[in-house]
Amino acid sequence: MTSTAVAPPEAQYDTHVEADTGMSAESIPVIDFSGYLYGTRQQRTAVSQAIADACRRYGFFYLEQHGMATELVDNAFDAAREFFALPLDERIACKASTGRQNRGYQPMFDTQREGEAPDVKESFDMGFPLDDAALARLADLPFYSRNAWPQDAGFRYRVENLYYAMLNCGQQVLRAMAESLALDANFFVSRCRQPFTNMRLVHYPPQPPAVDGGIGARPHTDKGLITLLLNDANGGLHVQSADGQWIDAPPRPGALIINVGDLLTRWTNGRFRSAVHRVVNVSGNERFSIPQFHHLNYFAEVDPADIPGGGEVRYPVIQAGEFVGAGFKRDRKSWRS
């Protein structure tokens, strides 16, 4: 197949924010995952197909009955609230020790594209733990470093427990997606050895009244394969529909929100949609969320020709880590310095 280069997924959508943007009457699909985890072959196929349909139309869906314990989620949200209540100097002490990392504390307003207002949020990230030998081998690459923890050992325990539960859940979702594309179930997961998958605790203070002063998260697409998202009870997540309207995606008790990232859009040759989304925290409350961004191994190649049935190849082959790193350099001030 020949390759016809196209603009990256995030460049295909209008990311301008208007204060009076109307909301769509559509809603994000809700999928019960228990049929895939515990069901018959027929039930697994039906769930995989429902996920594929949601990925094609919306790029987002709610996932219920995902197998993660409520206690793990609650404990991690408690840890997030405690961390962001710490004095600023204690939070800053948890910044990554090396540059171009997605671990540790990210200060308020660091996420900002040149010429745009910054996101009104701060965060703490943990990445995939690596042993000393792997760290030495990968030390010159972005994303690979030691996690930077606060002194409270209980914080680390609660956050790591949720990280591994979400990692397992995300791998199951990737298996269902692979099967929906008539691939081996481990097609994606097998390329996620020593990934730079990170989980983020995000704190959104009540946003400024004027939209031009910045919102929680300005319109963007995620860069990796998929994102698993947990929210507190405060809404504010909006997903852009194919016709440019905003769809409200309010919290749904007990459910994850799953969305497609740019790498998966490219790999599926545009069949799975990486949708633009934003966070507008007009609740008047502090808002907390916990996304986990599923990534490949840094050196993994993403080639749409690997997945049959997608028609003429629209995207060139890319290396996962370089592609995601370029996105970080575009979107974060700390990566441009």
Q: Is residue 124 within a helix (H) or strand (E), and if so which, with residue range?
A: strand 122-127
| Biggest CA pair distance of the chain | 56
The tokens describing 182, both together, are: 């008539």
The segments of the chain whose pLDDT lies below 50 read 1-20
Q: What is the pLDDT of residue 215?
A: 84
CA distance 189 to 184: 10
The tokens describing 240, both together, are: 């852009």
150 in Cβ contact with 131 (< 8 Å): no
Of the candidates 120, 329, 308, 299, the one whose C-alpha atom is nearest the C-alpha of residue 223 is 329
Residue 289 backbone dihedrals phi, psi, to 5 degrees = -140, 160
Q: What is the pLDDT of residue 105?
A: 97
Residue 298 backbone dihedrals phi, psi, to 5 degrees = -55, -40
CATH code matching the domain that covers 9-336, chosen among 2.60.120.330, 3.40.50.11540, 3.40.50.970, 2.40.40.20: 2.60.120.330
- Residue ranges of the domains in the chain? 9-336
CA distance 118 to 116: 6
Of the candidates 144, 122, 102, the one whose C-alpha atom is nearest the C-alpha of residue 292 is 102
> In terms of DSSP bridges, do strands 60-64 and 256-260 run parallel, antiparallel, or are they unpaired?
antiparallel
Helix (H, G, I), strand (E, B) or coil at 279: strand
Tokens 């171009």 identify what position? 100
Give 3-state DSSP helix, strand, coil % of the chain, rounded to 5: 35, 20, 45
Q: What is the pLDDT of residue 208?
A: 65
Of the candidates 41, 5, 13, the one whose C-alpha atom is nearest the C-alpha of residue 276 is 13
DSSP states of 4-49: -----GGGGS-----TT--B-S----EEETHHHHHS-HHHHHHHHH
Q: What is the pLDDT of residue 86?
A: 97
246 in Cβ contact with 280 (< 8 Å): no
pTM for the structure as a whole = 0.92
CA distance 283 to 145: 36
Q: What is the pLDDT of residue 206?
A: 85
Of the candidates 238, 229, 235, the one whose C-alpha atom is nearest the C-alpha of residue 250 is 235
The tokens describing 185, both together, are: 């179930």
- Edge to edge, what strands does the sheet with 198-204 contain? 30-32, 60-64, 256-260, 226-231, 287-294, 198-204, 122-127, 104-106
Q: What is the pLDDT of residue 283?
A: 85
The tokens describing 60, both together, are: 């987002």
